[in-house]
Amino acid sequence: MEHRKERIDRGIKARTEDIYALFSYREMLYLLVPRVIPILVLFLVTLLVGVYWQKVLISTAVFALLALSWDLLTAAGMVSLGQALFFGVGAYITGILNHYFNLSPLFTIPIATVGGGVVCTLLLLPVLRLRGIYFAMVTLALPLMLVRIIEATKIFGGTEGLSGLAGLPSTRFELYLSLIAVLAVLFFFRRLINTDYGLVLRGIRDNDRSVMRSGINIYWFKAQALFMASAVGAFAGALMTHVYMFVGMPVFEMDYSILPIASAVVGGMGTFAGPMLGAFILVPLSEALRGVGGLRIVIYGLFLVIFTVALPEGIFHYFQRKYHQFERWVKVEK
């Protein structure tokens, strides 16, 4: 090993970090390009593709929402193995409100978002007192057990589910609603995690004892993070219910738990943009891989293993590094 790789921030990165971002158009472009171009490309794509791929994009956006919600939980030190819980609870609340009370989507979606957040937070409240794998264990168990409860008690349509629910005006409306929701959540979370509030959340992940020592009630903060994450998940479920005009036991399926995690791991945890990028890679990919059928989940599983072990930073971190820094080989001083 004669040489080592040195990474240095680009000058322009340092210049754009403060008020100096307003120096010239070049600095402003440097900040704007990575944010605006993907959004423009995304909306251009929605104009160009047919109805089938529009549907695929809707489900991509739904998975992206779940991945974002997963990433927020992970940022606060809670690893969820059951995003299907949030998704399913939101979906069922929407279905029930629409089927039994005939409320229109205008009311069901907001109620399900908030209600789903509250229900999931209450369900997981006992687990918040413990760290790490306990949370993972219980979130893994809950959706699988809720399915059994619905199957056993035959409530809410039992195995048949509730069908014939109200739909949204048009596919295009559904598409834009879901994409705008994804972008709103993305920018909200990215901003949130860099505030003092977000610092507390990240502190809980890194060393919760020292956060407690600072006189902060970590359980209250964890509960808030959990509420935000589960509300986002529940919104995804509510949206999907109105898109399919059906809600049933499949909403608790493994897919809704695994794909968001796989997206986050592939895209890069902790950045929010990474999980979203991951979702926009994996979901269309799995749509294209429809031919292999059951092998899909196997591939996700292997993705999880390979990326956590071999490329733990994920795709987004890689691009971010290339964008902000330049690399050169320097001689190792003996």
Write the burial class of residue 57 (CB in 10 Å: 0-12 exposed, 13-18 middle, 19+ buried).
buried
Closer of 102 and 153 to other proteins (Cβ):
153
Minimum gap (Å) between residue 277 Cβ and other proteins: 18
Shortest distance, CB of residue 227 to other proteins, whole angstroms?
18
Write the CB contacts of 13 (distance below 8 Å, at least 6 apart in sequence).
30, 324, 325
Q: Is residue 56 part of the contact set for other proteins (CB under 8 A)?
A: no
Cα dist from 314 to 272, 310, 317, whole Å: 12, 10, 6
Shortest CB 112 distance to other proteins, Å: 23
Beta-ladder partners of 57:
none
Tell me how far, at minimum, the Cβ of 298 lies from other proteins, in Å.
5
Q: How many residues does the chain have?
A: 334
Specify the stretch interacting with other proteins by CB under 8 A; choose among 28-36, 50-58, 179-187, 299-307. 299-307
Minimal distance, residue 295 CB to other proteins, in Å: 5
C-alpha 133/C-alpha 18 separation (Å) is: 39
Looking at 97-105, 226-234, 305-313, 314-322, which segment touches other proteins (CB under 8 A)? 305-313
Residue by residue, DSSP assigns 140-204 as: HHHHHHHHHHHHHH-GGGTTT-EESPPPPS-HHHHHHHHHHHHHHHHHHHHHHHTSHHHHHHHHH
Q: Which is nearer to other proteins, 170 or 207 (CB)?
A: 207
Instruction: In angstroms, give the least distance from the CB of 26 to other proteins.
Output: 39
CB of 280 to other proteins, least distance (A): 20
What is the footprint of other proteins within residues 112-151 (CB under 8 A)? 126-127, 129-134, 136-138, 140-142, 144-145, 148-149, 151
Question: Measured from the CB atom, is 96 or 258 closer to other proteins?
Answer: 258
199 versus 305: smaller Cβ distance to other proteins: 305
Structure tokens at 302: 């292997």
Packing angle of the helix pair 25-48, 51-75 (nearest 10 deg): 130
Under the criterion CB under 8 A, does residue 297 sit at the interface with other proteins? yes
Q: How many residues bind other proteins (CB under 8 A)?
A: 43
Q: With b meaning 16 or more CB within 10 Å and e meaning fewer, what string describes 209-226?
A: eebeeeeeebeebbbebb
Closest approach of other proteins to the CB of residue 155, in Å: 12
Residues 6 or more apart from 318 whose CB is under 8 A from it? 268
Structure token pair of residue 10: 């680009």
DSSP string covering 75-92: HTT---S-HHHHHHHHHH
Q: How far apart are CA 233 and CA 318, in angstroms?
A: 27
Give whichever of 105 and 161 is closer to other proteins, judged by the CB atom. 161
- Rule CB under 8 A: say whether 152 interacts with other proteins: yes
Q: Which residues bind other proteins (CB under 8 A)?
A: 74, 79, 81, 126-127, 129-134, 136-138, 140-142, 144-145, 148-149, 151-153, 209, 254, 258, 261, 265, 293-295, 297-298, 300-305, 308-309, 312
